[in-house]
Amino acid sequence: MVRVVQRRFWELDFARGVAVAGMVLFNWLFALGFFGLIAFDASQGFWWAFARLVGGAFVLISGIAFSLGLGKADFGRKAVARGLKLFALGLGITVATALFVGRGAIVFGILHFLGAAWILAIAFARRSWAWLLAAGAAVVAAGVLLSGVSFEFPWLLWLGFVQRGFYSLDFFPLLPWFGVFLLGMALGKKFYGGGAGIIAASGPFYAKPLVFLGRHSLFVLFALLYALGLNPLGF
């Protein structure tokens, strides 16, 4: 039997690597500010936008990656397994931040979100890229509108109904972020549906460090958490 190796697109790994580098920079600056070593305000302005740009890049690329697997044997089961794995890692971070951070603990961060998104996206797998583009834009718009409203109950935080006074170090509700994931799926179907990349088959040599970061993003995330003194696995 011939083993089929799924092709990787260097430009996607490179983009993810850039996002990883941005995440590392932001989190180190945030940690220094958290411990009072530097003045760092991520609640508004440039760094507020920077954090969301980096997070949005991860979500968009993840949506593209999801679309690349469509049509492959047993993809639905593999997508569920990946989603559950990511969500479980998110729960580990919830426990770690609840123990070591207290207020601001991560209850539905980017890993929780990506885990849920990979499972939910299965229901949209057969939609056309144009439908996904329109639906993604609508979900993003709904989330933006919802972000200006607060509620008295906590049960729908994961969806985007934010309780008054809620604060978390990392928060990625389904509204608007699932819309960004759908936009990634649309881009993947449109530009990678034929199995070919949109630029050169292999990247330049100077891109390799960021490509490596992109291909091992979860490892980098865990290394960062350990460096900050947070063990997401609980030991």
Q: Which residues pair with 171 in a beta bridge?
A: 108
Q: What is the per-residue pLDDT for 82? A: 93
Task: Express each pLDDT in 28-37 by its tens digit.
Answer: 888 788 778 8
Task: Please state the domain extents for the chain.
Answer: 10-227
Output the pLDDT for position 123: 96
* pLDDT class of 24 with cuts at 50, 70, 90: confident
* Cα–Cα distance, 176 to 76 (Å, whole number): 24
Half-sphere exposure of 215 (CA within 13 A, CB side): 11
Band of the pLDDT at 5, cuts 50, 70, 90?
Answer: very low
DSSP track, 95-159: HHHHHHT-TB--SB-HHHHHHHHHHHGGGGTTS-HHHHHHHHHHHHHHHHHHTT--BS--TTTTT
More confident residue, 1 or 68: 68
- What's the chain's Rg over C-alpha atoms? 18
Beta bridge partners of 168: 104
- Interior/surface letters 81-106, b for 16+ CB within 10 angstroms, e for the rest: ebbeebbebbbbbbebbeeeeeeebb
Q: In the prediction, which pLDDT does 197 show? A: 57
Secondary structure letter of residue 232 according to DSSP = T
Residue 3 clears pLDDT 80, i.e. is over it: no
Residue 159 has pLDDT above 90, yes or no: yes
Give mean pLDDT, residues 162-184. 94
Residues 6+ apart with CB under 8 A from 187: 60, 63, 64, 67, 129
With a cut of 50, say whether residue 185 has pLDDT above it. Answer: yes
Whether 161 has a pLDDT exceeding 50, the answer reads: yes
Distance CA 214, CA 20 (A): 7
Q: Indicate whether 201 pLDDT > 70.
A: no
Q: How far apart are CA 45 and CA 24, in angstroms?
A: 19
Does position 230 have pLDDT exceeding 80, yes or no? no
Per-residue model confidence (pLDDT) at position 128: 95
Give the tens place of pLDDT for each residue, 93-127. 899 888 887 788 999 999 999 999 999 999 999 99
Report the mean per-residue pLDDT for the chain. Answer: 84
Comparing CA positions, the residue from 81, 27, 65, 18 lying closest to residue 230 is 27
**pTM of the predicted model, to two decimals?**
0.84
Helices 45-68 + 10-34 axis angle, to 10:
150
